[in-house]
């Protein structure tokens, strides 16, 4: 499975055949348990449910009749809110029967509401709803859904009967819409350069995911995780936390499929880490677009860090550790700049000025960066 194109949009693999198959089998079993030995009428909602209904039929061992109902509500990748019946079902086919509606997907619930209204008017004995996919975040109705194959986040999907403007229904697995790529960047500079402050603002303004190794360490240390206990000893000495510890923490975050557009702060700190980061990103089909280096003269840095030490309560903001951290920065971390410079990704930013001034310089630089396609 790999990326595909339907009309103007790209889609990426999302749910494999086996997971779909398991969900369908589970539903068939649950419906059979509910029906006991009584016959049911499956109302197949077209077009989307045709593959789902066919597969469910193969796994359904009880007595069942299949009727087909055709509705339309979606245009492109959004619900229109208005649901039309295109092919209806005769009243006598459902009157007094045990109905099970087979939906491919329940999104806002508009379609479902319309189906329920229409079918109730035909006076069935009972009416239950089964859907293969369900988007709880999008669902706006109160009507309970009796059988759910799989809950999914509020993303647009295609395949296994579901379409994007009629294409994609015949894909045997499910793909999801590929979102526009967001910038992935490294905020770089010596301790005290204002990386954290700037990253926080960028995160809010651009909707990026902020990964600050300092915060990660403090979080792990505070919660006394295994990684945290190990990291503590190094930080107390003003030493760099070993790569494996940092990398494990970073991996965890990049793995989150909903986290996008990363700002790295405090990582990579060594060329070796930079190489690992490039690989981790490549594994997820991502790429670092830029390293923004915030430049501040050394005397100012020391002054700023001592100030921060008075209020931050950070164990590492004292003169001795500050000097040590700056030394480490020059010897181990600065080469990272050259590493990304060689890739044509280095952008230098003057870090002297107010927070807003520096932020504006960063935004100007970002707006001129052309995102790379991996």
> Applying CB under 6 A, does 328 fall inside the site for ligand IMP?
no
Q: Residue from 157, 208, 263, 290 that binds ligand IMP (CB under 6 A)?
A: 157
Distance from C-alpha of 347 to C-alpha of 103, rounded to nearest angstrom: 51
Distance from C-alpha of 306 to C-alpha of 292, rounded to nearest angstrom: 24
- 13 to 42, contacts with ligand IMP by CB under 6 A? none
Distance from C-alpha of 307 to C-alpha of 219, rounded to nearest angstrom: 23
Give kind and range of the element (H or E) at residue 57.
Answer: helix 50-59
> Phi-psi category of 165—alpha, beta or left, where left has phi over 0 and alpha has psi -120 to 50?
left
CB 238 within 8 A of CB 325: yes
Please identify, among the stretches 120-128, 157-165, 234-242, 321-329, the one whose residues bind ligand IMP according to the rule CB under 6 A. Answer: 157-165
Q: 195, 337, 345, 361: which is the annotated catalytic residue?
A: 195
The residues with which 158 forms a beta bridge, in sequence order, are 175
- 192 to 231, contacts with ligand IMP by CB under 6 A? none
325 in active site: yes
Distance from C-alpha of 201 to C-alpha of 208, rounded to nearest angstrom: 10
> Applying CB under 5 A, does 48 fall inside the site for Mg ion?
yes
- Minimal distance in Å, beta carbon 41 to ligand IMP? 19
Neighbours of 180 (CB within 10 A): 8
The contact mask relative to ligand IMP for 42-61 (x = CB under 6 A, - = no) is ------x-------------
> Applying CB under 5 A, does 168 fall inside the site for Mg ion?
no
| Tokens at 81, concatenated | 């809110």
269 in active site: yes
Cis, peptide link before residue 263, omega less than 30° from 0: no
> Applying CB under 5 A, does 192 fall inside the site for Mg ion?
no
- 158 to 187, contacts with ligand IMP by CB under 6 A? 158, 162
* 81 contacts: CB under 8 Å, gap ≥ 6: 73, 108, 110
The contact mask relative to ligand IMP for 77-96 (x = CB under 6 A, - = no) is --x-----------------
Please identify, among the stretches 7-15, 41-49, 115-123, 226-234, the one whose residues bind Mg ion according to the rule CB under 5 A. Answer: 41-49
Q: 47, 135, 325, 345: which is the annotated catalytic residue?
A: 325
- Minimal distance in Å, beta carbon 45 to ligand IMP? 6
Catalytic site positions: 195, 269, 308, 314, 325
Binding positions for ligand IMP, rule: CB under 6 A: 48, 73-74, 79, 104-112, 156-158, 162
């Amino acid at each position: 499975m790999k990326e595909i194109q339907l009309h103007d949009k790209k889609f990426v693999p999302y749910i494999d055949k086996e997971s779909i198959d398991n969900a369908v089998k589970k539903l068939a079993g649950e419906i059979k348990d509910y029906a006991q030995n009584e016959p049911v009428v499956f109302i197949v909602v077209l077009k989307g449910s045709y593959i789902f209904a066919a597969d469910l039929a193969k796994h359904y061992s009880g007595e069942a009749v299949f009727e087909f109902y055709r509705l339309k509500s979606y245009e492109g990748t959004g619900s229109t809110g208005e649901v039309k019946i295109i092919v209806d079902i005769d009243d006598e086919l459902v009157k007094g029967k045990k109905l099970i509606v087979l939906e491919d997907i329940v999104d806002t619930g508009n379609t479902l509401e319309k189906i329920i209204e229409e079918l109730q008017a035909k006076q069935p004995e009972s009416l239950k709803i089964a859907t293969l996919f369900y988007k709880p975040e999008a669902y706006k109705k109160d009507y309970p859904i009796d059988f759910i194959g799989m809950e999914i986040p509020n993303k647009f999907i295609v395949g296994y009967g579901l379409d994007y403007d009629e294409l994609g229904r015949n894909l045997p697995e499910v793909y999801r819409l590929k979102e526009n790529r967001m910038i992935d960047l490294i905020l770089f500079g010596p301790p005290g350069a204002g990386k954290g402050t700037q990253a926080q603002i960028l995160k809010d303004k651009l909707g990026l995911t902020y990964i600050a190794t300092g915060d990660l360490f403090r979080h792990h240390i505070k919660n006394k995780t295994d990684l945290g206990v190990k990291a503590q000893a190094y930080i107390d000495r003003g030493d760099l936390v070993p790569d494996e510890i940092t990398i494990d923490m970073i991996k965890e975050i990049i793995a989150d499929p909903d986290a996008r557009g990363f700002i790295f702060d405090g990582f990579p700190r060594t060329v070796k880490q930079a190489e690992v980061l490039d690989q981790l990103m490549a594994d997820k089909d991502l790429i670092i677009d830029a390293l923004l280096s915030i430049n501040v003269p050394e005397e100012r840095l020391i002054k700023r860090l001592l100030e921060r030490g008075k209020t931050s309560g950070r164990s590492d903001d004292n003169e001795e550790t500050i000097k040590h951290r700056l030394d480490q920065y020059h010897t181990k971390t600065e080469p990272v700049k050259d590493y990304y410079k060689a890739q044509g990704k280095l952008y230098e930013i003057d870090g002297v000025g107010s927070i807003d001034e520096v932020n504006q310089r960063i935004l100007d630089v970002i707006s001129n960066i052309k995102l790379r396609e991996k």
